[in-house]
């Protein structure tokens, strides 16, 4: 049996489906019973635990108590907060189970974007030019060589939360202080024009060998520029796989990771953006295309043989329709000229993330957990305006509010 965390998230349901279809039983954990993972028919056991981000010690104690009572071959942390805490308490957890995470030092490259950018600089891997102020007085001096527009970016957030775009240097220090209040010591980067984005999903063994790979292009997002992808397509990019493997080997990575790249629209240069150190939100597409990362990770972690997987179906789409792609449609001024069209529904070529024809309970859970968007004024402001007035474009509407992260079913 495998214990899967973060029952609130769509990707938890995908992981459960991917494992149980291979005959592996799963137990599901989360912070609230009103979670898609708890509604799923695939879970055999369920555990409500304290928030790993707000009460990490209580979370780990609850998890350890459960694991001492119930034998599990593997604990699979699905999101950043659970991965961070499980990595911190890895020794204690591995007395009662297996945790497929890299050592804490290597894991930090996925949890903190700053060392990722620093390593890319040392390796000569193209990336957005970045500086790391330690206080607001350093901001202008360190950013003197960066070209505006600029972006102040949290070091450890996701889905575009906390980003502030600064068109000129005039508001840079104030923008840095604004982000710093919620996300300590943010980075300042040159704002690269929006280009094609790619996610490279990899599974690395403990010898640094890539044993499974998959590449997707992210076609639509919400928020529009830096949010989570709402539509992806499987593509063949061995060059990106090679670059991603090179970077992960420089870290000394083990287990799952997604390495994100963006193509500079003016130069065609492929820029490294970040490393996601756990199951990525749109893993549904990889599984649907034939790369069952959760199952392969289980085989790797338990020492069982398996064949490497580097071939997969191409041209398949995955769509996060509710509410992700709907929100993108509402926010996009070019909504009627989008390609592919919002109104194209092709069940043969498209898998719908969050809508599970063989698991209606989980689908109901996704719908219920997404309903909060109807009553979130900050989200509607982001949809209707795309930016907040005041000289700096921001994604702060996706800021560090537990209620948002706890309800988004991302």
Residue 224: phi, psi to the nearest 5?
A: -60, -40
**Highest mean pLDDT pick, 98-102, 322-326, 336-340:** 98-102
Q: Is the pLDDT of residue 141 over 50?
A: yes
Mean pLDDT score of the chain:
91
Vertex 225, ends 224 and 226: CA angle to 5°? 110
197-374 has CATH 3.30.470.20 classification: yes
**Highest mean pLDDT pick, 333-337, 378-382, 391-395:** 333-337
Tokens of 265: 């629209």
210's CB contacts (< 8 A; 6+ apart) are 202, 203, 204, 241, 245, 248, 308, 310
Q: Is the pLDDT of residue 374 over 90?
A: no
Every domain of the chain and the residues it spans: 2-100, 129-191+385-407, 197-374
348's CB contacts (< 8 A; 6+ apart) are none
Q: What is the pLDDT of residue 158?
A: 63
Asked if 136 and 108 count as a contact pair (C-beta separation under 8 A), the reply is no
Cβ atoms within 10 Å of 4's Cβ, excluding its own: 31
Average pLDDT over residues 179-204: 96
Into which CATH architecture does domain 129-191+385-407 fall? 2-Layer Sandwich (3.30)
Which one is the CATH code of 2-100: 3.40.50.20, 3.40.640.10, 3.40.50.2300, 3.40.50.620? 3.40.50.20
The per-residue pLDDT for range 2-29, each reduced to its tens digit, is 999 999 999 999 999 999 999 999 999 9
The per-residue pLDDT for range 222-232, each reduced to its tens digit, is 888 888 999 99
Residue given tokens 């003016």 in the structure block: 266
- Spatial strand order of the sheet with 210-222 comes to 270-276, 255-263, 197-204, 210-222, 228-235, 317-319, 350-352
Instruction: Name the burial class of residue 266, with classes exposed (0-12), middle (13-18) and buried (19+) by CB atoms within 10 angstroms of its CB.
Output: exposed
Q: What is the pLDDT of residue 348?
A: 76
Region for residue 360 given its phi and psi (left: phi exceeds 0; alpha: psi -120 to 50; beta: otherwise): alpha
Report d(CA 78, CA 66) in Å as an integer. Answer: 18
Q: Is the pLDDT of residue 386 over 80?
A: no
Report d(CA 297, CA 325) in Å as an integer. Answer: 29
Q: What is the pLDDT of residue 273?
A: 96
Average pLDDT over residues 160-175: 90
Average pLDDT over residues 47-71: 98
Q: Is the pLDDT of residue 377 over 90?
A: no
């Amino acid at each position: 049996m495998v214990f899967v965390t973060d029952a609130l998230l769509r990707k938890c349901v995908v992981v459960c489906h991917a494992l149980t279809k291979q005959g592996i039983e799963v137990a599901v954990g989360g912070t609230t019973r009103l979670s898609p993972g708890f509604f799923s028919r695939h879970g055999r056991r369920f555990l409500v635990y304290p928030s790993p981000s707000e009460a990490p010690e209580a979370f780990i104690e609850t998890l350890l108590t459960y694991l001492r009572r119930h034998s599990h071959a593997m604990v699979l942390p699905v999101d950043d907060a659970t991965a961070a805490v499980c990595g911190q308490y890895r020794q204690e957890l591995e007395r009662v189970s297996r945790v497929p995470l890299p050592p804490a030092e290597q894991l930090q490259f996925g949890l903190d974007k700053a060392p990722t950018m620093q390593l890319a600089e040392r390796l000569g891997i193209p990336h957005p030019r970045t500086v790391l102020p330690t206080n607001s007085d350093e901001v202008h001096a360190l950013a003197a060589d960066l070209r505006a527009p600029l972006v102040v970016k949290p070091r450890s957030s996701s889905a575009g939360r906390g980003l502030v775009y600064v068109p000129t240097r005039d508001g840079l220090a104030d923008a840095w202080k604004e982000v710093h209040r919620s996300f300590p010591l943010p980075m300042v980067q040159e704002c690269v024009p929006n280009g094609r984005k790619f996610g490279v999903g990899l599974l690395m063994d403990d010898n640094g060998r890539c044993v499974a790979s998959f590449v997707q292009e992210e076609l639509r997002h919400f928020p529009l520029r830096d949010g989570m992808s709402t539509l992806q397509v499987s593509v063949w990019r061995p060059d990106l796989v090679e670059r991603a493997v090179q970077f992960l080997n420089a870290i000394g990575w083990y287990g799952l990771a997604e390495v994100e790249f963006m193509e500079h629209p003016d130069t065609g240069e492929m820029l490294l953006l970040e490393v996601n150190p756990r199951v990525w939100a749109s893993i549904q597409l990889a599984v649907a295309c034939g790369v069952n990362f959760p199952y392969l990770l289980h085989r790797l972690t338990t020492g069982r043989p398996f064949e490497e997987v580097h071939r997969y179906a191409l041209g398949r789409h995955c769509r996060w329709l509710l509410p992700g792609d709907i929100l993108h449609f509402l926010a996009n001024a070019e909504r009627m000229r989008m390609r592919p069209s919002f109104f194209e529904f092709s069940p043969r070529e498209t898998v719908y993330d969050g809508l599970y024809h063989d698991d209606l309970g989980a689908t109901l859970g996704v719908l219920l957990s997404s309903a909060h968007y109807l009553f979130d004024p900050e989200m509607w402001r982001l949809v209707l305006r795309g930016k907040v007035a005041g000289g700096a474009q921001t994604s702060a509407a996706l800021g560090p509010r537990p209620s948002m992260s706890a309800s988004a079913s991302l």
